[in-house]
């Protein structure tokens, strides 16, 4: 637990910000996004007839990522979930189910404290208090192949392992069966992948417009590498 907390703090202190958002196209029709950065997902804005999910637009594989989801006070219902999954994970079903972790394509934690993967569940932590806002943090280590959850800044321990063996791209996921619930992205950080990556982030911190990259006195391959950065 101490090691996990240390890794989390190192990433917050020494990593770099990410600007990924909820994917406005890769979601259930029962999810609406809002905010300048599409950071808030509104589940079942009117009423709920099933389970709705949404995917983040950040590929997690191979890197170390930490992100937080601020959950509104409306915590209730059959299932509100936070996790990860591939493009094969379903994002909508006309039934009240634990959709993240229903099969081998996703891994999730429900607000009832249960971990789900491949249709199986196990107790992981205490159920969340209903109608009390909370912050759920997730630390994905693509090198070690682990996913760790945090609740209001406190590590709950490693939830899943073996994720380094997943070949398909893995993305952040969230879902809810409850009407008029909201989940808002908060802190998003990642670790540096190399010295070159660290230099890229330093360069980007001094650039205000992407067009400026084209005028840098650097080889075209390096300019392309800078443009590809998801971390600025």
Q: Where are the beta strands (DSSP E) in the chain?
A: 16-17, 22-27, 31-34, 40-43, 51-56, 64-71, 80-85, 92-93, 106-110, 114-117, 120-123, 134-141, 146-151, 154-160, 171-176, 181-190
Instruction: Return the higher-pLDDT residue of 192 and 150.
Output: 150
Share of the chain above pLDDT 90, in %: 69
Mean pLDDT of 141-163: 95
pLDDT tens sequence across 159-217: 999 999 999 999 999 999 999 999 999 999 988 665 666 566 566 667 767 677 887 88
Phi/psi of residue 2, nearest 5 degrees: -65, -40
Residue 34: strand, helix, or coil:
strand
pTM: predicted TM-score of the whole model, two decimal places: 0.84
């Amino acid at each position: 637990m101490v090691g996990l907390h240390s890794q989390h703090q190192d990433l917050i202190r020494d990593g770099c910000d990410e600007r990924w958002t909820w994917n406005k196209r890769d979601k259930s029709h029962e999810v609406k996004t809002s905010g300048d950065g599409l950071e808030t997902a509104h589940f079942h804005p009117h009423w709920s007839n099933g389970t709705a999910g949404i995917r983040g637009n950040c590929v997690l594989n191979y890197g170390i990522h930490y992100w937080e989801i601020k959950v509104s006070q409306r915590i209730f219902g059959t299932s509100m979930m936070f996790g990860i999954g591939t493009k094969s994970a379903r994002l909508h079903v006309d039934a009240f189910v634990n959709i993240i972790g229903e099969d081998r394509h996703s891994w999730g934690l429900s607000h009832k404290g249960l971990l789900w993967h491949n249709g199986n569940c196990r107790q992981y932590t205490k159920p969340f208090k209903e109608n009390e806002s909370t912050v759920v943090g997730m630390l994905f280590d693509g090198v070690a192949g682990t996913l760790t959850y945090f609740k209001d800044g406190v590590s709950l321990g490693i939830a899943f392992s073996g994720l380094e063996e997943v070949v398909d791209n893995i993305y952040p996921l969230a879902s809810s069966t409850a009407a008029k619930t909201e989940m808002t992205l908060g802190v998003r950080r990642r670790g540096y992948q190399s010295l070159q990556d660290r230099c890229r982030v330093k360069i980007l911190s001094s650039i205000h417009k992407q067009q400026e990259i084209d005028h840098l006195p650097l080889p075209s391959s390096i300019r392309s590498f800078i443009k590809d950065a998801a971390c600025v």
